[in-house]
Copies of this chain bind each other. A is one copy, B any other.
Amino acid sequence: MHDNSIPDTVFAFVHSYRLAMRSGLNASELGLNYMHVKCLTFIDSNKSCTANDIVNFFARDKAQIARLVKDMIANAWVIKTDNPQDRRSQLLSLTDEGKRLALLIAETQGKVHQQMQKNLTDEELQEFKRVTDIIVTNLTDLNR
């Protein structure tokens, strides 16, 4: 086994996880894309969140995030309010509908994660997370 197979396997992880979430959510019926799911979850779990926080957390281009946010606002899942700390940015928060979706997402995630963890112990999962973090740090160093 050569280490080259690690990235391929990880790609397969991402791909199948996406599919599982999408079908579990009935995402297309709801008009939800996967990036919406990620953003909604992030906003939901952060008391105070700006577009830039999303950009940094997911390491995505700010243009991409700006459009996703615009989209989510157009869907009335998210609202912007002035940020008293910094008038360049706005705080993002979920509408009631956004919260409803976030709940649905969390439920689906719960199911997918349960399936994902089959045949794995907590120790294995914790170790997996630890190693992934190290790899991400290593690669992030490289991209700079």
Contacts of A124 in B (CB 8 A): 127, 131
Question: Is B116 touching A19 in the complex (CB atoms < 8 A)?
Answer: no
Given the known inter-chain contacts A7-B17, A12-B59, A14-B14, please indicate yes or no for A1 contacting B129, CB distance below 8 A.
yes
The number of chain A residues touching the other chain, given as a range, is 35 or more
Tell me if A141 counts as interface (CB < 8 A to partner B): yes
Give A1-42 as 1s and 0s: 1 = Cβ < 8 Å from B's Cβ atoms: 101111111111111110110010000000000000010010
Integer count of this chain's copies in the complex: 2
* Of B15, B139, B140, B142, the contact of A59 (CB 8 Å cutoff): B15
Given the known inter-chain contacts A59-B15, A116-B135, please indicate yes or no for A127 contacting B127, CB distance below 8 A.
yes
A90 CB to closest chain B CB (Å) equals: 23
Given the known inter-chain contacts A58-B11, A124-B131, A131-B124, please indicate yes or no for A16 contacting B115, CB distance below 8 A.
no
Tell me if A143 counts as interface (CB < 8 A to partner B): yes
Q: Closest B-chain residue to A119, C-beta based?
A: B134
